[in-house]
Amino acid sequence: MLYLVGLGLSDETDITVKGLEVVKKASRVYLEAYTSILLVDQSVLEAYYGRSIMVADREMVESNSDEILRDAANVDVAFLVVGDPFGATTHTDLVLRARELGIPTRTIPNASIMSAIGATGLQLYNFGQTVSMVFFLEGWKPASFYDRIKENRDIGLHTLILLDIKVKEQSLDNMARGRKIYEPPRYMTVGTCARQMLEIEEEKGQGVYGPDSLAVGAARVGGKTEKFVAGTLKELCEADDLLGPPLHSMVLLGRRTHELEHEYVREFAVNKETWDKIWQAEYQQK
């Protein structure tokens, strides 16, 4: 059987008891290592699980899945995913390929940023579509997130924004030349996300959000050093020192924010006076 095992969001202890049992008995264990990361190294996982782990990068998962699925109809194979296997990132392609080969599959769920973001104090029922923000490049500024945020804002809902990570990525030059040379890992910060959002708003000019729009930056959610910072998008452009190391996420507040949500989130505000003033004028639930 192919098991997709969620690891949770923080460290080696976040795996469920059920997931750990699967890992311990599996013939092979793979760690998906390109859509997200834990806050501990692979060696820490191996010591805790008592198993060696093979890292499955994007190339292996997308182009060489046959290796992962090798003999999985006869032995147990564990595919480990940070967060929940079908949370922020899905692995339906791998499951569909297993089905084609007649390999049974089973999912062991765990915490995902999609649910853990509730630690900000914002009610999950009040979230709309989740969007992703990628690093802008010279001449390439994808803005598909803008329309999704507009749809959420039009009905007053919060937007969870997942921030880009670059792990084992090639430069365009190395890719064109076929050179297996990889760039150092990069993790988008809340500050970069906020600046890119304001850049796209300036280009679009539709007033979906602006420098005074309220948002919450989140760092290392679920970990021992979890940190939240709330403020305007302009304030969050400069909030990276307050948030600290990766991984970061961000929430753009919807206009139907409930007073209980406001009371909880304002404790994270960079400037409570500014936060209260804008919330009272723009965000109180009607």
Binding residue positions for S-adenosyl-L-methionine: 9, 84, 87, 112-113, 163, 221, 248
Report the alpha-carbon distance of residue 3 to residue 76 in Å, rounded. 7
Report the alpha-carbon distance of residue 105 to residue 2 in Å, rounded. 5
Q: Cis (ω within 30 of 0) for the bond into 247?
A: yes
Residues at the binding site are: 9, 84, 87, 112-113, 163, 221, 248
Among 27, 87, 26, 98, CA closest to 61: 98
- Starting from the edge strand earliest in sequence, which strands make up the sheet with 159-163, in order? 131-133, 159-163, 248-252, 214-219, 227-232
Among 285, 221, 274, CA closest to 250: 221
Structure tokens at 57: 């990068």
Report the alpha-carbon distance of residue 178 to residue 169 in Å, rounded. 13
The contacts of residue 59 (CB under 8 Å, 6+ apart) are: 168
Please give the biggest Cα pair distance in the chain.
Answer: 63
CA pseudo-torsion sign 174, 179, 181, 182: positive
